[in-house]
Amino acid sequence: MPKKALLIVDFQNDFCPKGSLAVKDADKIVPVVNKYISKFNSKGYTIFASADWHPADSKHFDKNGGLWPVHCVAKTKGAEFHPELNILKSVIILYKGTLAEEDGYSAVTAKDENKKELKRLLMDKGIDEVYVCGLATDYCVKSSVLDLIKEGFKVFLLIDAVKAVNLKANDGENAIKEMSESGVVIIKKDEIDI
Ligand code: VGL
Ligand code: ZN
């Protein structure tokens, strides 16, 4: 039996309605993500949650030449997980985008509190399959999925538990297409067999 893990990408206040980089309807999928958390937890599978965690002077921000309004500055309210997300004690939190020079889109090099990268954690735990959900489909979800595939993991996209920023109208759809072409398996709650 392949060993599985759940990865929840960047489900933080700033990416939810009222946040500084709001992803439309992000809050609507909180109950779906919570169902996945219960399901993976009940099977004893590892659950990871990445957090975008930028320094205030990040080059990733538009005021410093980057693409984005200020968001998810480390230790601020906007960087906290959505209050209704059921982040269990056993969830491993991974921090990304922590250096001023990096965008930090991919969760693969995000690090836990002991500075261990997701890639290493997955390898050490002997995990073969990663199920990915969260925000945003067209940036951090896409980047994480593509990197996980490159690293040799089997990757599933939980299509009912992702939302796109859509800086351009079709970004979300294009991202899903790109992930599919790279070999991700697209799946939803009632199809999952774990
Ligand atoms: C993200 C834009 C900027 C994401 C992070 O989590 O998808 N998007 N920083
Ligand atoms: Zn960011």
Calculate what percentage of the chain has a pLDDT beyond 70: 100
Q: What pLDDT sits at residue 93?
A: 98
- The full set of domain ranges for the chain reads 4-191
> Residue 193's pLDDT band (boundaries 50, 70, 90)?
confident
Of the candidates 8, 80, 85, the residue with the CA atom closest to the CA atom of residue 49: 8
For the question of residue 138 being annotated catalytic, the response is no
The 10s digit of each residue's pLDDT in 140-171 is 999 999 999 999 999 999 999 999 999 999 99
- Compute the distance from residue 52 Cα to the ligand 2 centre, in Å: 5
> Residue 3's pLDDT band (boundaries 50, 70, 90)?
very high
- Compute the distance from residue 120 Cα to the ligand 2 centre, in Å: 22
Q: Which atom of ligand 1 is nearest to the CA of 137?
A: 7
* Residue 156, token pair as written in the block: 């599933």
Which residue among the candidates 16, 72, 133, 140 is catalytic per the annotation?
A: 140
The 10s digit of each residue's pLDDT in 82-103 is 999 999 999 999 999 999 999 9
Q: What pLDDT sits at residue 177?
A: 98
Q: What is the pLDDT averaged over residues 74-78?
A: 98
Query: In terms of C-beta density within 10 A (0-12 exposed, 13-18 middle, 19 or more buried), how is residue 98 classed?
Result: middle
The 10s digit of each residue's pLDDT in 18-44 is 999 999 999 999 999 999 999 999 999
For the question of residue 25 being annotated catalytic, the response is no
- pLDDT value at 194 more than 90: no
Q: What pLDDT sits at residue 190?
A: 85
Distance of CA 13 to the CA centre of its chain: 13
- Compute the distance from residue 140 Cα to the ligand 1 centre, in Å: 5
> Residue 120's pLDDT band (boundaries 50, 70, 90)?
very high
CB distance 133 to 179 below 8 Å: no
CB distance 144 to 106 below 8 Å: yes
Q: What is the mean pLDDT of the chain?
A: 97
Residue to probe by mutation, ligand 1, list 16, 135, 145, 168, most atoms within 8 Å of CB: 135
Q: What pLDDT sits at residue 67?
A: 95
> Residue 66's pLDDT band (boundaries 50, 70, 90)?
very high
Q: What pLDDT sits at residue 1?
A: 83
Q: What is the pLDDT averaged over residues 116-139?
A: 98
Considering the domain 4-191 in this protein, what is its CATH number?
Answer: 3.40.50.850
Q: Is the CB of 52 under 6 A from ligand 1?
A: yes
Q: Is the CB of 139 under 6 A from ligand 1?
A: yes
- The DSSP string of 29-66 is GHHHHHHHHHHHHHTT-EEEEEEE-B-TT-TTBGGGTS
* Residue 8, token pair as written in the block: 């929840």
